[in-house]
Chain A
Amino acid sequence: MALYDTQYQNPLIKWIDSRLPIITLMDNEYNKYPMPKNINYLWAFGAISMIMLFVMIATGIFLAMQYVPTTDGAFDSVERIMREVNYGWLLRYVHANGASFFFLAVYFHTFRGLYYGSYKEPRELLWIIGVLILIVMIMTAFTGYVLPWGQMSFWAATVITNLFSAFPLVGDDLVTWIWGGFSVDEPTLNRFFPIHFVLPFVIFGLVFLHVAALHICGSNNPLGIDTKGPQDTVPFNPYATMKDLYAFFVFAVIFAVFVFFAPNYLLHPDNYVPADPLVTPAHIVPEWYFLPFYAILRAIPDKLGGVIAMFGSLVVLFFVPWLDTSKVRSLVFRPLSRLFFWLFVINCFALGWAGAMPAEGIWILVAQVGTAFYFAYFLIVMPVLSRKETPLPLPESISEPVLKSGSPRPKGGGRVRASATASRKEKA
């Protein structure tokens, strides 16, 4: 009888934990887990994203109980939720705005990972799972946006599903297969509903893997150097839990202001007009979190090229751990890379702006330059800078700068060439 050798003395907990050491697991992963003590508030966005996922699933389940996935019933049932269901308006506004705030948190989380090199060895797989989560989130948000069956829902579904027709040979058949017919219609809505319902649970599974992979490597930190021992870390609970909860409630205040005082600000008026296949809206715009991708799609004059560029803008993220070969993780020690990082952030906003404007005149040029820079950042800037840039000297350990000056600029440590294996040196 190979029972787990549990540390707990309480008979019931001991009985459970020796058979299924889930309590020990939770204790290790969410209580004792050593967190670098120099993490800043950007590290809270992982926890915030996870809470937002729970909020979306919780509100989504109750909305699904009242929602009718038919072309005749969808719009009516959403209005019924808004008017007749007890606090249905609250559920729906939290869910609709929650999508925006979920993406906001995840984007902060992703850019934080990019800035501090959280994708580098040994966290490559952690990063890849994160990119997978982002892609599944995009699919979930898109299918969810179709469900209210307003004008924007219908035309977004039409525009996006039509993209697949660009693929040679199989394109048209593929689109018919996705639609379940010869246009976006009831079969499309019928299948988008279960897809939208199931994908969040796929995200949930991926988040579990994301956390599992994280807890093998340990969390990165603003200095990007490995923790050297207990003097560099604090236990996850209560230090990180309280800090994350504080950050979440500040985030929640902004979220609540939108939900209660401007719930339709991020939505489009056209989606309060029932879907009409015979009337095309003057401008078809996606939600803000898709605008940069939409700009990339429209930047390429060729349809297939645009589709490949848009999908490519996500796929390229998978390769980031091998495009940036510098051993120095944090951009704190790479001034030139840091400059390009901020240019990349500005570029994403410019792409978003171009995506919101009609595809004409100067905006096409903005989208094209933006798209070129987007890919150049990953495919040229990252590999070249990781070879050419000489990083600033790294501190010996997390405790040292914190102890001595409180600034990340170290006094000793010596110059480390980009080619040198900084992380291995630290271990020595």
Chain B
Amino acid sequence: MMRAFTTLAAAVTIGLAGSAWAAEQIEIPEYRWSHEGVYGTIDRAAAQRGLQVFQAVCQSCHGLKYVYFRTLKGIGYDDDQIKALAAEYEIEDGPDEWGEMFYRPARPTDIFPDPFPNEAAARAANGGAYPPDLSVIAKGRPGGLDYIVALQMGYEIEPDGFELADGKYYNAYFPGHQISMPQMLFDEVVEYQDGTEPTMLQHAKDVAAFLWFTAEPHYDTRKEMGVRVVIFLVVLAGLFFGVKRALWRNVKKH
């Protein structure tokens, strides 16, 4: 319903600015996400599995520099779990009273530490490419989560005649098809704690669900508030309509 509404609203008010691009892009497969729709919420189990995939695979190159460990409460971890989860990371702190920097275990109030000390180091380690921070990537790519999944699933042998540059990989969905990131997801990259079957597609969808949470940590609150606000405004508009009609009824017949 939402999709129909937004499309209609766009056609009426915007003159179809957004959909104009769709035609020239590669068709990406669409999946159903539990958070879609008016009452949809983030699938916490999927996001937790996605965090597992992120920790096992993505975080060796990609940062999450806007995400505090305490934020993970939003996908169902309790304080102790978050404390333990944070403590697995070492972060640089300081200077101490001797002016020295030191490492300590991360606390819930820390952010996910960046894998590289700076952009130059990241590029040096990745053949010149800079792995983008993933905090808001789900909102920063046309196609959003569907694109993230498609990208993970889109590694192929390059077609005949396609000139692939050194250190690049062919990806059916990446703009220009030459991506510096090698294929990272395969079947059974991680063994899920909740026993879900660890297929490659499952990994990709779970990590996308997690990245939707990192991009919109207040997503569920927003939707819940939205339902109340819209109902409130509809009732209020109805009341004002009644007042207006009662008032103006006398005017026309006057």
Residues of A bordering B, CB below 8 Å = 37, 76, 79-80, 82-84, 89-90, 93, 104, 231, 234, 238-239, 242-243, 245-246, 249-250, 252-254, 256-266, 269-270, 272-273, 282-283, 285, 288, 291, 349, 352-353, 355-357, 402, 406
B247 touches A238 (CB 8 A): yes
> Which residue of A82, A238, A252 is within 8 Å of B233 (Cβ)?
A252
- B123 interface residue per 8 A CB criterion: no
B230 touches A79 (CB 8 A): no
B236 touches A89 (CB 8 A): no
A261 touches B251 (CB 8 A): no
B15 touches A253 (CB 8 A): no
- B5 interface residue per 8 A CB criterion: yes
Q: Inside 8 A of A261's CB, which chain B residues have their CB?
A: 2, 38, 223, 226
> Which residue of A37, A270, A353, A402 is within 8 Å of B140 (Cβ)?
A270
> Which residue of A239, A256, A273, A285 is within 8 Å of B251 (Cβ)?
A239
CA gap between A258 and B223 in the complex, in Å: 11
- B124 interface residue per 8 A CB criterion: no
Also in contact, A269 and B230, with CB within 8 A (given A246-B237, A260-B223, A352-B15): no
> Which residue of B10, B139, B230 is within 8 Å of A253 (Cβ)?
B230
B136 touches A285 (CB 8 A): no
Q: Across chains A and B, which 4 residue pairs bring their CB atoms closest together, nearest first?
A: A260-B226, A272-B140, A249-B237, A352-B15
B139 touches A264 (CB 8 A): yes
B237 touches A256 (CB 8 A): no
- B252 interface residue per 8 A CB criterion: yes
Interface size class on chain B is 35 or more
25 contacts between A and B (CB under 8 A): A37-B252, A83-B66, A83-B217, A239-B251, A243-B244, A243-B248, A246-B237, A246-B244, A249-B236, A249-B240, A256-B226, A256-B230, A257-B5, A257-B230, A258-B9, A259-B226, A260-B230, A262-B2, A269-B140, A270-B140, A272-B140, A273-B132, A288-B13, A349-B15, A353-B20
A269 touches B139 (CB 8 A): yes
Could you count the A-B residue pairs with CB atoms below 8 Å apart for me: how many are there?
118
- B14 interface residue per 8 A CB criterion: yes
B20 touches A89 (CB 8 A): no
Also in contact, A262 and B225, with CB within 8 A (given A250-B237, A288-B13, A352-B15): no
A242 touches B175 (CB 8 A): no
Q: Inside 8 A of B189's CB, which chain A residues have their CB?
A: none
B102-156 interface (Cβ within 8 A of A): 132, 135-137, 139-142, 144
- B161 to A: closest C-beta gap in Å: 24
- B234 interface residue per 8 A CB criterion: yes
Of A234, A252, A261, most buried by chain B (CB within 10 Å of CB) is A261
